[in-house]
Amino acid sequence: MKRGYLARGSENWLLRAATVALMATGLTMASASAQDGLGTAEKPIQLRVIANSAFSHTWQSVLVPEFNKVYPNIKVTIDGVPYNEHLAKLMLEATSADPEYDVLVIDDPWTPQLAQLGALVDLKGPKVAPITSAEYDWADFNSAPLASGEWKGVQYSIPVRSNMLLMFYNRAHYKKAGLPEPTPALTWEQYFEQAPKLVQDMNGDGTVDAWAVDTFFVRDQLTPPIWQAILNANGGSLLDDKGVPAFNNEIGVAALEKHKKLLEYAPPGALGHGLQESLQTFRQGAVATMFMWGSVYKATGVDPKASTLTLKELGMQVMPVGSASAGTHRGIWTAGISAKTKQLNASWAFVEWLTSKQGEKINVSLAGSFPARKSTLNAPSEDWMKPVFSTLQESYDVAAKGRMWRIRSPRSDATQQILADEVARALAGQVSPKEALDVAAKRIAKVLK
């Protein structure tokens, strides 16, 4: 029979809650639960999840207890791994004869690589479809984040922590400079016209203490998406329809020149800035704008321990408009099930709950994760969510139309490292943007063959 979020049927949540209560007292459903692979009070299922260390502790402490209110007999352990070790650990899992994990949390560009190795279960296939609730509603997902877990027409993983590259701005800086606040219609030309005025003296002591922008400039895999967002906004793409590099042209060069030009209005030492440095600079009120992953919004405007800014000062929108559209870039964490798991039903119970309409709302509220479902974005439950959710929906639409994401290939990680190397050389002035992109195109063409 089909298992819903508890009992694999289309029963409503009230009925499921009653069933859970009965199960907890051992009065009913014990044998059926065991048969469904969901454990019993006497023999609980042990489930292991590998996730990024940036959010694994939060998931363990706040999400697992919520999951256990519905599935009390599935004991979930979430192991956190630093980002720079995460893919290597997933690859070991994929090739190990004795794997450790049942559920794999995967970064946006890694799904093709794991799918190619046969490491993931088809989540719409014959093993999972019969045990999926009729209430699950795949059509409720926005296409851009959902596609991050797809490869060659197969859905291998589902968004659990969505993210988009966006423009943050400090309203106080724009007011001090006598400039209008940015809008989603702001073009790159207008942005650079305003940038010199945003390099200013904020405290009135006669010394410049604030700059226009900070973002990714360092040699890092997260630096090329800034350039790519500008590229895509002007109608460019990383690959053509035949899968051949197509970014080393006039559009690509002009985009990289814009990325480099940002350094003229950035704080001293910005060439060495990545995620943490640009975040700290913006949160301390030293720059007017920041091009950054949207998920830092709550910690930047709501958490006084992390930031000096308040929600009244903080604005966020899509990146400036090019000749084709506004700009953004997709970065989605998804959850998939290991093809080697011995706990398929329990694994899907956890992934299904976490990505369901109800589970996603809990994830957003308690863990601060960004949603992928249209229904969640259309119904913000807290004040800080309202501007965020409307911007997220716009960015999903823009990304889907402009295919604003990293190269989709089993060699995606290798191609991204090449782009990181060459974009960094251009930003540092070691080579021209044209030369950097020509070298990157040649290297990536070889990698993708």
pLDDT digits (tens, 9 = 90+) for 258-276: 999 999 999 999 999 999 9
- Same domain? For 319 and 266 the reply is yes
Residue 275 lies in a domain: yes
Structural domain contains residue 24: yes
Say if pTM beats, i.e. exceeds, 0.85: yes
195, 51: one domain: no
Residue 241 lies in a domain: yes
Let me know if residue 26 belongs to a domain. yes
For residue 383, tell me if it sits in a domain.
Answer: no
How wide is the angle at C-alpha 169 spanned by C-alphas 166 and 174, nearest 5°? 150
How many domains are there within the chain?
A: 2
230 and 109 assigned to the same domain: no
Kindly state whether residue 133 falls inside one of the protein's structural domains. yes
Quickly state the pLDDT bin for 90 (edges 50, 70, 90). Answer: very high
**212-221 pLDDT per residue, tens:** 999 999 999 9
Q: 124 is in which domain, residue-wise? A: 13-163+332-377
Same domain, 172 and 159: no
Considering the chain, what percentage of its residues have pLDDT values greater than 90? 85
229 assigned to some structural domain:
yes
Whether 124 and 250 map to the same domain: the answer is no
The tokens for 402 are: 């402009």
Give the model's pLDDT for residue 132: 97
Beta bridge partners of 158: 335
Q: Are residues 200 and 127 in the same domain?
A: no
Q: Do residue 268 and residue 306 come from a single domain? A: yes
Identify the H or E element spanning 278. helix 275-283
pLDDT of residue 3: 52
Q: What is the mean pLDDT of residues 67-71?
A: 97
Tens-place pLDDT, residues 315-332: 999 999 999 999 999 999
How confident is the model at residue 21, as a pLDDT?
A: 40
Cα-Cα-Cα-Cα torsion 361, 365, 367, 370, nearest 10 degrees, comes to 60
Residues 296 and 232 in one domain: yes
Indicate which CATH number applies to the domain containing 130.
3.40.190.10
Residues 6+ away with beta carbon under 8 Å from 363: 63, 160, 161, 354, 369, 371
| Choice among 27-31, 61-65, 96-100, 319-323 with the minimum mean pLDDT | 27-31
Amino acid at 244: V
| Residue 277 and residue 170 in one domain | yes
Mean pLDDT of the region 166-171: 97
Pairwise CA distance, residues 195 & 245, whole Å: 32
Domain-embedded: residue 207: yes
Residue 138 has pLDDT above 70, yes or no: yes
Asked if 146 and 197 sit in the same domain, the reply is no
Please compute Rg for the chain using Cα positions: 23
Whether 293 and 331 have beta carbons less than 8 Å apart is answered as yes
Token look-up 């010199």 returns 196
